[in-house]
Amino acid sequence: MDIQLIDWVFVAAYVIAIFAIALVSRETMHESELKTATELAQEKYMANRSLTFFESICSIIATEVSALTFVGIPAFAFKTNFSFIQIYMGAIAARFVIATVFLPRVYDQGLTIYEVMAKATGLPSGRRAVALFYSCSKIISVGVRLFSGSILVAQFFGLSIPIALICVTCLTLIYIQVGGLKAVVRTDILQLSLFICGGLLAHYLIPKVSGSSWADLMMAAQAAGKTTILDFSNPWPFVIGIMGGFLFDMSTHGVDQDFAQRLTANRNIRGGQYAIFFSSFISIAVGLLFLSVGALLWSHYQSHPLPASVPNADHLFPHFIVNYFPTGLRGIMVAGVLAATMSVLDSTINALCATLYNDIFPNRDPKKMKFYSFVDSIIIATLIFTVAIIASKSDGLLLLGLRAQSWTGGSLLALFATKVIFKKWFSYRLTPAVVIGAYAAGMSGVYVNTQILAWDWNLNVYWGFILSTIFIKIYCRIAPMNQKES
């Protein structure tokens, strides 16, 4: 496949646009005449609490959908059905809880959510332990997302997966150093627009390539059960999906610094509350958009041979784009996937840099914050890149990425809930011992769920949350705080 000039133009235009946005954000930062290290950190990692409702909600959606949605959700529908949307439906109630219960307790209380958890009753070492466990879990889950986005980039430019990963990672690293969180959020708006545009184009072009109407392809998929969300003959999987989405979403959007900073960096708490709640409905719409792409591809390949060069369903949509989309539109799709991949990577690097600066190494020289931010970004990007290389050997990217988050999400949620939400009933100091114990208990719960009971992975967070909470309660009885500490 020869890359035409117009394809290059669209991809180049996107790259130029994100750097232009980053430069504008950088100029804004300079004009504010920041002087102290605290103010510099607030600007770089919290956008000086200047995010609007529109910026927050677009950034939340752009970060959560990722290239994993672009590649993995169509593959999921191609292999199974629309049941994945159950997770998004469970998220509606979860984000209502985040908006009304979580956010009022963390807004304007610290640079990171882990600082809030450790206030008054925590030790620096305990706060560091929480941040380390979070960072490791985040690097693993985002590494899978980085690989998923590199598939189309590699196929489009004729590169190997490792080279494509290096290119995307380096490009993101360069521009994130320019503008901080404000640049990340502003580019997220562009990235989300391209992402949705790519999904809509797929709905238009797959029927044209297939020689059938959109309605005929979707009816064929429906007849085969590919659009099924709820099977009334066996509603239990639907219930599990809703339940799993509820607690799983609280563990990601509620206590993950990547998402929390988009809420706490809002101009006011009301804007953050509206952004997190209404984002759940947009997530459902985006999920259905790309599940339908998978259904269309399934119907198309019922009358066309599956390409022998495609190793698994995760590579199917990228292959279709590269080989069947017209010149120009191909470039838009590649720009869309590149946008989605960079959106997740840039926000993750920014969040983890904030965690390193504020929680893991809080005593570093504040005068060298920019230098440490640069070094931290390289280290984090290298670790994510390593995970992406490992993930490239796996199949089923969508579930792999989500399962990685479910392994430790319950433990982090339990620590947050007992230290911030239900602290009256859980009197303990946040030490490395309790953090390690909570995570060990949570991981044992995941093992019981997946290996012994063989229940659905959606329940991992429940098992992790329950066993971690039980461990913390026992710890409270063994090592309670005295009255002065509490």
Question: How far is the C-alpha of 135 from the C-alpha of 132, rounded, in Å?
Answer: 5
Judged against a pLDDT cut of 70, whether residue 33 lies above it is answered with: no
Judged against a pLDDT cut of 50, whether residue 483 lies above it is answered with: no
Judged against a pLDDT cut of 60, whether residue 374 lies above it is answered with: yes
Residue with tokens 């085969």: 224
- Closest CA relative to residue 130, chosen from 309, 373, 355: 355
Question: Whole-number mean pLDDT of the chain?
Answer: 84
Q: 225-239, 294-308, 324-338, 387-401: lowest mean pLDDT where?
A: 387-401
Q: What is the pLDDT of residue 84?
A: 85
Q: What is the pLDDT of residue 32?
A: 46
Q: What is the pLDDT of residue 482?
A: 55
pLDDT grade, residue 486 (50/70/90)? very low
- Asked if residues 82 and 227 have their Cβ atoms less than 8 Å apart, the reply is yes
Q: What is the pLDDT of residues 412-470, one digit of tens each?
A: 999 999 999 998 888 888 889 999 999 999 999 999 998 999 888 878 999 999 999 99
State the CB neighbour count (10 A cutoff) for residue 452. 8
Q: Which residues contact 266 (CB under 8 A, 6 or more apart)?
A: 49, 51, 52, 53, 56, 107, 272, 275
Exposure on the CB side of residue 95, measured as CA atoms within 13 A: 27
Judged against a pLDDT cut of 60, whether residue 34 lies above it is answered with: no
Distances in whole angstroms, Cα of residue 286 to Cα of each of 73, 93, 159, 196: 10, 18, 29, 7
Q: What is the pLDDT of residues 249-297, one digit of tens each?
A: 999 899 999 888 889 989 999 999 999 999 999 989 999 999 999 999 9
Question: How far is the C-alpha of 155 from the C-alpha of 148, rounded, in Å?
Answer: 12
Residue with tokens 């809002």: 266
Between residues 32 and 61, which one has the greater pLDDT? 61
Q: Which amino acid is at 2?
A: D
Judged against a pLDDT cut of 90, whether residue 472 lies above it is answered with: yes
Q: 331-340, 394-403, 407-416: lowest mean pLDDT where?
A: 394-403
pLDDT grade, residue 2 (50/70/90)? low
| pTM of the predicted protein model | 0.85
Judged against a pLDDT cut of 70, whether residue 394 lies above it is answered with: no
Angle, alpha carbons 460-410-387 (nearest 5°): 80
Q: What is the pLDDT of residues 132-152, one digit of tens each?
A: 999 988 898 888 778 777 877
pLDDT grade, residue 3 (50/70/90)? low
Q: What is the pLDDT of residue 484?
A: 46
Judged against a pLDDT cut of 80, whether residue 29 lies above it is answered with: no
Q: Residue 89 is encoded by which pair of tokens?
A: 């439906």
Q: What is the pLDDT of residues 49-74, one digit of tens each?
A: 888 899 889 888 877 776 667 777 89
Between residues 27 and 458, which one has the greater pLDDT? 458
Domain architecture of the chain: domains with CATH: 5-396 (1.20.1730.10)
Between residues 75 and 363, which one has the greater pLDDT? 75
Judged against a pLDDT cut of 70, whether residue 101 lies above it is answered with: yes
Q: 159-193: buried (b, 16+ CB within 10 Å) or exposed (e) per residue?
A: eebeebbebbbebbbebbbbbbbbbbbbbbbbbbe
Q: What is the pLDDT of residues 198-230, one digit of tens each?
A: 889 899 999 998 999 999 999 999 999 999 988
Between residues 312 and 472, which one has the greater pLDDT? 472
Q: What is the pLDDT of residue 396?
A: 55
Q: What is the pLDDT of residue 69?
A: 74
